[in-house]
Amino acid sequence: MEKGDIVTVVTISGEYVGVLESFEDATVVLNKPRMVVQTEKGMGFAHGVAVTGEENPESVTFLNVVYVIPTNEGVKKAHTEATTGIQLVK
């Protein structure tokens, strides 16, 4: 994984998707972060990373993450559409 990749960060509080800024010593910085949420309509993104936090923060620093993995292609596309408003073709 490299800076600029869209990645999934799993923490004890939940799962997050964003653009990797840095990853070292169990600290991850994501740009355009979004919390993954499950609803009766399926999976989606919250408008940020915390229920009471700032909406659509530019970046967030995660401490002591459980793991970081590359995000699957469908979620990458959904993240790009959610954070840019650009609709990608299939």
So where are the chain's domains? 6-84
The predicted pLDDT at position 56 comes to 92
Instruction: Write down the pLDDT at residue 84.
Output: 87
Domain spanning 6-84, CATH class: mainly beta
Residues of the chain with pLDDT > 70: what percent? 94
State the pLDDT confidence band at 90, using cuts at 50, 70 and 90: low
Q: What is the model's pLDDT at position 61?
A: 97
10 forms beta bridges with: 15, 67
Q: What is the pLDDT of residues 57-69, one digit of tens each?
A: 999 999 989 999 9
Running DSSP on this structure, what letter comes out for residue 40?
A: T
DSSP per position, 28-61: EEEEEEEEEEEETTEEEE-SSSSTTS-SS-SEEE
Rounded Cα distance between 79 and 71, Å, is: 10
